[in-house]
A and B are shown apart, each in its own frame.
Chain A
Amino acid sequence: MVVRTYQEELSYLEKMTPNCWRIKKGFVPNMNVEGIFYVNDSLERLMFDELKQSCRSQGYGGFLPGMKQIGNVAALPGIVGKSIGLPDVHSGYGFAIGNMAAFDMSDPKSVVSPGGVGFDINCGVRLLRTNLTQKDVQPLKEQLAQCLFDHIPVGVGSKGIIPMNAKDLEEALEMGMDWSLREGYIWAEDKEHCEEYGRMLQADPSKVSGRAKKRGLPQLGTLGAGNHYAEIQVVDEIYNDFAAKKMGIDFKGQVCVMIHCGSRGLGHQVATDSLVVMEKVMKRDNIDTNDRQLACARINSQEGQDYLKGMASAANYAWVNRSSMTFLARQAFAKMFNTTPDDLDMHVIYDVSHNIAKVEEHFLDGKQKTLLIHRKGSTRAFPPHHPLIPVDYQLTGQPVLIGGTMGTCSYVLTGTEQGMMETFGTTCHGAGRALSRAKSRRNLDFQDVLNALEQQGISIRVASPKLVMEEAPESYKNVTDVVDTCHAAGISRKTFRLKPIAVIKG
C-alpha cells in the first residue's frame, strides 16, 4: 500500500458543492468509479480529521477512515454510478456504515458483498402514530415506559414473549410480515405501509444455517442491545404540513412510538456464515479487492445467490420481529389507556430498512438498468409517484425515518426526485458514530449520561445501564447536522421532527 501524506491525499478530493465532495480515481488503487460523499461544515471536519489521523499513523494500527472505505467499495467489480457516502458515514466492516453502492445485474462480473449489507441484516426503524397528546401521556409516562419494558424484552440474551417453535420460525423466514398477518399479530394496513410490503419473495429458509435459526428462535420480539431502542416520542416541529398530514400527523405534541431493531442473532449468523464461504469463493473466481473485509461473490454464482436468499430470509425475520414488537407496543398502550389500539389510531406510518441489498430498476445515463443496490446504514428514499411506494405516499414521496440517538431528536423525511437521480434514491439513516464504543466507555461516565437524560425529562429503562455511554449522544454525530445536510443537498426533504419522552434500551 502506498503511504501518502495528508496533503497528497487532499489532491484526490474536490468540493463540488457546499454539501458534496468528490473522491477522484486513484485515491485508492483500482477504482472503477468515483466516490462521492455528503457533508456540512461540521461533518466535513469530522471526516477530514479521521483522514488526517490515519495519515499520521501511516496506515498502521486502527481502522480505515470512512473516505478510504468509500474508495475501496468503488474498486469492487461491477459497481456503477458512484460509491456514495451519506452524511452519517463512519467506518464499518468492509463497507463504511452510511455507504451505498449499485452493481449492474447484467454484468457477469458484478458482486454481492455481505459487508455491504452489514451484520444486522434489515436493521430498520418503524414509526407508529397515536391520537394521544403529550398531555395525555405525561402523567403516565413512567408507568408506560415500565409497561413497554415488560412487554418488549431488551438486552443481550433477552427472550421474547411470543411463543414460537421451529416450524413457526421456518414459515416466518419465508413469509415475513405475511406470517405476522396470518397469525393475527398485525393489521392489514401495516403491510401496506412497509418497505417491500414486509416480505422479500426470494427468501429461502433452507439457505439459513441451523445455527442461525437456533440463535433466532427465542429472540423474536426482542429489541436486542447496541443502538436498538423503542421510544415514546412527541412531534415537536412540523416542516411540511401536507406531507405530515398524509402520514396522519396533525399537530405538535402528537405522541408516536418508534421501534429501531433488526434481525438479532439470526441475521448476524447469516452474515458470518456467508463471509466464511465468500473468502474461499474469491480465490476460486479470482476476485480481487482492496480490503479483506470486502469479501464478496459474483451475483450469479451459487454462493452469491445463496447469500441473497439467506439475507432475504433474515430480512423477513427482522420484519416479523418489528411486527411482533408493534403488536406488543399496541397491547401496552391499550392496557395503559384502557382502550383498544384501534381507538388509539395506532397505525404504522412507515417501516424502513437500513441494512439491505435489493434488486431495483434505475436510470443510469438515461438508460433503464436492473441494479443490485447495497444500502448499509442508509435508507431508501424514493420520490413521489414511484411505483414501489404505498398509494398514500404517492404525492409526498416515501417517508424516511431517521432515528436519533438516545435522548436526541428523530426526524421523518421524504424522498425526492433529485435523490433518485444522484444517490439511487438513498439518504442517511441516523446520526452515525463519531466515537468508537471503546472510546465512549473510556471517556464518559454512565451515571452522567443517565442524569443528563433525566434532566431532559426523559424516562429511561435499560437492561445494562453500564453500557449506556456507548450510546450517549456525545458518541454520535449530531443527527440534526446529518438531516440538514440531506435536506440542503436535496436528496431528501424534512417533514417533521420528534423528541423522545421515554426510552427503552438494551
Chain B
Amino acid sequence: MFRRKLLALGYPQPDSFNTQDENQFRSIIVWLEDQKIRHYKIEERASLRSISSPDWVKALHSYLMDLECPYQQSEKNCVIEWLLAYAVRLEYGDNVDKYKGVTAETLTQAVTKPAPGVSSNPLDNLNFDDPDFKAGIASLSVLLQIPPHQDHVEMLKAICLLVKNKLSKEAIEQVSKDTGKVEHIALDQMELGFDTGDYIINEAAKVLRLIHLHDLRELQTTINQAIVGVQNVTANPKTDSRLGKVGR
C-alpha cells in the first residue's frame, strides 16, 4: 500500500511501510512535514516531532486542522493517503518543468533498458522504440493500406490481425474455397438502424456493427458444430412408408 507514492517521494523504506505500526505512522507524518509539506516553520514543529509524547495526538489533531485535511486521525489509511497525495502535489508544483518531459514512452524506455541479455530469443529483445523499427511499421502499414495511428505498437497489432485474418496460409486457402461467394458490403448502403447525428460516428458505429456480426456468426457456427456433435450420438431418423395414408 502507498508503495508507489512513497517511492515517488523518495521515502527511505517504501516497501515495509505499515500504517498499523503506531511508531511508523507517527514517523512518516513528521518526515512528510519536515521534508515535503513544510507547512509550519521549523520552530513550530516541536510538538509534532516529539512522537513519544502523550500530547502527540493533540498535536496531530491541530496539524490536520491546519492543513484542512478532511479526515479524522483515527482513519489512519485515509489520513496517510491524503497527506501523501498532498505531498506529491506540492512536489510536482515545485518541479513542474522537470516532470513535464516525462511520458509513458520515456519511462518505459528507462525501465526496459537495464534488462538486456535475459532472453536468447531475438524477438524478445526487440527495441520497440528504435527509429528503424518505427519506420518498418510505417512502411508495412503503407504497404497493407492500414490507416495510420499515432501509437506504432497499436499499428503493429492491427498489422498482426490483418496478416492473420487475410494473409495467413489458412486464410488464403479459405478465400480460394469461397471464391464467388464472398460479398462485399458497401458501407454507405448499409442501414445503421439509428442516427447519432454525426457522419463520422455513424460510420464508426456501422463498422462496429459489422465486427459484432462477424463475432456472432462465429458463435453461431460453434453452436451448430456442438449440435452436430451431439447429433452424432443421438440421431436415428426413421421412416416407415407402410404407415403413410393419404386422406381424402
Interface on A for B, CB 8 Å cutoff? 149-150, 153-163, 181-185, 188-189, 191-192, 218, 222, 224-225, 242, 245-246, 327-328, 331, 383-385, 390-392, 394-395, 417, 463-464, 506
- Chain B residues near A161: list those with CB within 8 A: 239-241, 243-244
Binds A, one of B16-24, B47-55, B220-228: B220-228
Complex A-B: 26 CB contacts under 8 Å = A153-B245, A153-B246, A157-B245, A158-B244, A161-B240, A161-B241, A161-B243, A162-B237, A162-B240, A162-B243, A163-B239, A181-B227, A183-B235, A183-B236, A184-B236, A188-B223, A222-B247, A242-B185, A384-B191, A384-B193, A385-B191, A385-B193, A391-B216, A395-B213, A417-B193, A464-B248
Determine whether B41 belongs to the interface, using a CB cutoff of 8 Å to chain A. Answer: no
Chain B residue with Cβ nearest A397: B191
How many angstroms from the CA of A377 to the CA of B139 in the assembled complex? Answer: 61
C-alpha gap A218/B209 in the complex (Å): 47
A155 close to B246 (CB less than 8 A): yes
Contacts of A150 in B (CB 8 A): 241, 244
User: Interface size bucket, B side?
Assistant: 20 to 34
Q: Please give me the residue from chain A that is nearest to B180 by CB atom.
A: A250
Provide the bound-state CA to CA distance between A395 and B184, in Å.
13
Complex Cα gap A155–B213 (Å): 43
Q: Report A-chain residues with C-beta under 8 Å of the C-beta of B236.
A: 183-184
Closest to B189 in A: A242
Interface centre among B217, B224, B248 (most CB of A within 10 A): B248
Shortest beta-carbon distance from B194 to chain A in Å = 9
- Check if B237 sits within 8 Å of A163, measured CB to CB: no
Contact of A394 among B213, B224, B247 (CB under 8 A): B213
Please state if A158 and B245 are interface contacts (CB–CB under 8 Å). Answer: yes
Name the contact of B248 in the complex, choosing from A155, A384, A385 (C-beta under 8 A): A155
CB distance from A385 to the nearest CB of B (A): 4
> Hey, which chain A residues are within 8 Å of B217, CB to CB?
391-392
Bound together, the chains give a CA A189 to CA B220 distance in angstroms of 9
Contact across chains for A188 and B193 when beta carbons are under 8 A apart:
no
Q: Which of B132-187 contact A (CB under 8 A)?
A: 183, 185
Q: Which of B185, B220, B228, B235 contacts A391 (CB 8 A)?
A: B220
**Cα–Cα distance between A157 and B231 once the two chains are bound (Å):** 32
Closest partner residue, chain B, to A391 (CB atom): B216
Q: Known contacts A159-B244, A188-B231, A191-B227; can you find 8 more A-B pairs with CB under 8 A?
A: A162-B239, A162-B240, A162-B243, A242-B189, A245-B183, A384-B191, A385-B209, A394-B213
Do the beta carbons of B247 and A153 come within 8 Å of each other?
yes
Minimum C-beta distance from B228 to chain A (A): 5
Give the complex CA separation of A183 and B191 in angstroms: 40
Given the complex, which residues of A lie within 8 Å of B225, measured CB to CB?
Answer: 188
Residues of A close to B245: CB separation below 8 A: 153, 157-159
Q: Is the CB of A183 within 8 A of B247?
A: no
- Enumerate chain A residues within 8 angstroms of B102, measured Cβ to Cβ: none
Q: Are A189 and B237 in contact (CB under 8 A)?
A: no
* A182 near B235: Cβ-Cβ < 8 Å: yes
A189 / chain B contacts, CB cutoff of 8 Å: 224
Give the contacting residue for B240; candidates A155, A163, A188, A327; CB below 8 A.
A163
Contact present for B247 and A225 (CB under 8 Å): yes
Is the Cβ of B246 less than 8 Å from the Cβ of A154?
A: yes
CB pair B220–A163 under 8 Å, yes or no, is: no
User: Does A184 lie within 8 Å of B247, measured CB to CB?
Assistant: no
- Give the residue name and chain of the A residue nearest to B194 (CB): A385
The 10 closest A-B pairs by CB, nearest first: A184-B235, A155-B247, A158-B247, A159-B245, A188-B224, A188-B227, A157-B247, A161-B244, A385-B193, A391-B216
Of A149, A159, A218, A395, the most chain B CB neighbours within 10 A belong to A395
Q: Are A188 and B234 in contact (CB under 8 A)?
A: no
**Cβ distance B92 to chain A, nearest Cβ, rounded Å:** 48
Given the interface pairs A162-B239, A391-B217, the reply to whether A463 lies near B193 with Cβ below 8 Å is no
Chain A residue at minimum C-beta to C-beta distance from B185: A395
Residues in A whose Cβ lies below 8 Å from that of B100: none
Which residue from B185, B190, B220, B237 sits with its C-beta under 8 Å from A183? B237
The CA-CA distance from A391 to B236 in the complex, in Å, is: 29
Residues of B within 8 A of A192 (CB): 220, 223-224
Q: Does B230 contact A (CB under 8 A)?
A: yes
B113 within 8 A of A: no
How far apart are A386's CB and chain B's nearest CB, in angstroms? 9
**CB closest residue in chain A, given B235:** A184
Q: Is B4 an interface residue (CB 8 A)?
A: no
A327 and B238 alpha carbons, distance in the complex (Å):
10
Docked Cα-Cα span, A473 to B243, in Å, equals: 33
Return B14 CB to nearest CB of chain A, in Å. Answer: 51
Question: For the complex, what is the distance from the CA of A156 to the CA of B247, rounded to whole Å?
Answer: 5
Known: A192-B220, A394-B213. A185 touches B247 (CB 8 A): no
Bound Cα distance A191, B248 (Å): 32
Residue of B nearest to A396 (CB): B191
Expressed in whole angstroms, the Cα–Cα distance for A153 and B238 within the complex equals: 16
**How far, in whole Å, are A390 and B237 apart by their CA atoms in the complex?**
26
